[in-house]
């Protein structure tokens, strides 16, 4: 559960007492207070969230400093016991309806479209939605870390989809050199082309029929929306698999999905 809890904190004074560690594979940063476990913080859709050590509830804050300082206040007020067992991430944070959509992203029509477009594009760029343990990582939104595996050298790199998709009509990803330590820049385009090849325009999959035309996408989206509103997960799961699951024709599917997005204003 997320709250806007406001334990007393003095951001400047608290900064001398907390330390923010390195981001883990789930996108969270561990925080110590006076050298003892204080909890963790993470960013999602432009806001920061603090989760106290030994607790599962979160509080929302304007920036990372205020989120970390909030944990200091909770230590001082006795809410956090540094000797308690670590917080356990609730199951719904790690297990979504399907692996290609972050469990924090509701399977709404707009989120499904954005996810399908993103998944199609990263396939064209020779990235895989995969973490260091080989698990599929779901689309987390445009401005959140997304662990992706570079197919050129096998490294897993946290990226923002907003950087990969380009901007202002220019589809060139940023940075153009992919990531630090990748193969030489002058060899990248040829290797991507060799890996990706010419994507088919129709789904060749045998077990699942993925949509590649606007009409097929529209029908599945309507069925998925009805299932979501009815809280019918058993019906929704295979529909999301058709709309988001890996397919050699994911580029064609993504292009069809783009036709349902609002037209940009001039």
Report CA-CA distances (Å) from 33 to 29, 135, 215: 13, 32, 55
Domain boundary among 37, 60, 89: 89
Q: Quote the number of domains for the chain.
A: 2
Nearest to 112 by CA among 247, 197, 228: 228
Specify if 13 maps to a domain. Answer: yes
Q: Mean pLDDT check: name the lowest of 40-44, 75-79, 82-86, 87-91.
A: 87-91
Whether 193 and 134 map to the same domain: the answer is yes
The pLDDT confidence band at residue 264, using thresholds 50, 70 and 90, is: low
DSSP code at position 23: -
Give me the pLDDT at residue 4, please. Answer: 46
Phi-psi region of 203 (alpha: psi -120 to 50; beta: other; left: phi over 0): beta
Specify if 266 maps to a domain. Answer: no
Most confident of 100-109, 168-177, 178-187, 236-245: 236-245
Whether 46 and 79 map to the same domain: the answer is yes
* Cβ(7)–Cβ(72) below 8 Å: no
Give me the pLDDT at residue 168, please. Answer: 67
As a whole number, the mean pLDDT across the chain is 89
Whether 10 and 25 map to the same domain: the answer is yes
Domain boundary among 46, 61, 89: 89
Whether 67 and 163 map to the same domain: the answer is no
Average pLDDT over residues 230-247: 97
The pLDDT confidence band at residue 266, using thresholds 50, 70 and 90, is: low
Whether 172 and 204 map to the same domain: the answer is yes
Whether 136 and 184 map to the same domain: the answer is yes
The reported pTM is 0.75
- Which residue stretches of 153-210 are H helix? 161-164, 185-196
Whether 22 and 85 map to the same domain: the answer is yes
Whether 106 and 77 map to the same domain: the answer is no
Specify if 264 maps to a domain. Answer: no
Specify if 265 maps to a domain. Answer: no
* Cβ(162)–Cβ(142) below 8 Å: yes
* Cβ(7)–Cβ(74) below 8 Å: yes
Domain boundary among 40, 68, 89: 89
Q: Which residue has the higher pLDDT, 4 or 154?
A: 154
Instruction: Give the domain extent around 45.
Output: 2-89
DSSP code at position 192: H
Give me the pLDDT at residue 1, please. Answer: 43
Classified as helix, coil or strand, 204 is coil
For β-strands 2-3 and 156-160, DSSP reports them as unpaired
Whether 147 and 229 map to the same domain: the answer is yes
Specify if 100 maps to a domain. Answer: yes
Give me the pLDDT at residue 25, please. Answer: 63
Give me the pLDDT at residue 93, please. Answer: 58
* Cβ(196)–Cβ(250) below 8 Å: no
Specify if 108 maps to a domain. Answer: yes
Average pLDDT over residues 27-33: 89
Q: What is the pLDDT of residues 142-163, one digit of tens each?
A: 878 899 999 999 999 999 898 8
Specify if 263 maps to a domain. Answer: no
Whether 130 and 38 map to the same domain: the answer is no
Specify if 168 maps to a domain. Answer: yes
Whether 233 and 122 map to the same domain: the answer is yes
Whether 163 and 33 map to the same domain: the answer is no
* Cα(163)–Cα(177) distance, integer angstroms: 12
């Amino acid at each position: 559960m997320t709250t806007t809890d406001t334990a007393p904190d003095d951001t400047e004074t608290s900064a001398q007492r907390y330390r923010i560690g390195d981001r883990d594979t789930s996108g969270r940063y561990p925080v110590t207070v006076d050298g003892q476990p204080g909890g963790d913080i993470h960013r999602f859709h432009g806001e920061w969230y603090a989760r106290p050590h030994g607790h599962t509830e979160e509080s929302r804050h304007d920036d990372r400093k205020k989120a970390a300082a909030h944990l200091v206040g909770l230590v001082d007020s006795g809410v956090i016991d540094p000797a308690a067992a670590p917080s356990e991430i609730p199951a719904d944070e790690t297990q979504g309806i399907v692996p290609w959509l972050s469990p924090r992203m509701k399977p709404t029509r707009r989120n499904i479209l954005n996810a399908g477009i993103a998944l199609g594009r990263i396939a064209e760029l020779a990235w895989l939605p995969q973490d260091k343990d080989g698990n599929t990582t779901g689309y987390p939104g445009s401005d959140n870390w997304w662990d992706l595996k570079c197919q050129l050298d096998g490294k897993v790199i946290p990226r923002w989809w907003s950087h990969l998709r380009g901007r202002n009509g220019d589809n060139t990803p940023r940075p153009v050199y992919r990531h630090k330590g990748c193969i030489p820049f002058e060899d990248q385009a040829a290797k991507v082309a060799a890996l990706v090849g010419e994507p088919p325009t129709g789904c060749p999959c045998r077990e699942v029929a993925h949509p590649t035309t606007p009409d097929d996408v529209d029908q599945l989206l309507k069925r998925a929306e009805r299932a979501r509103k009815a809280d019918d997960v058993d019906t929704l799961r295979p529909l999301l698999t058709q709309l988001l699951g890996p397919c050699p024709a994911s580029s064609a599917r993504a292009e069809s999905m783009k036709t349902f997005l609002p037209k940009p204003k001039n």
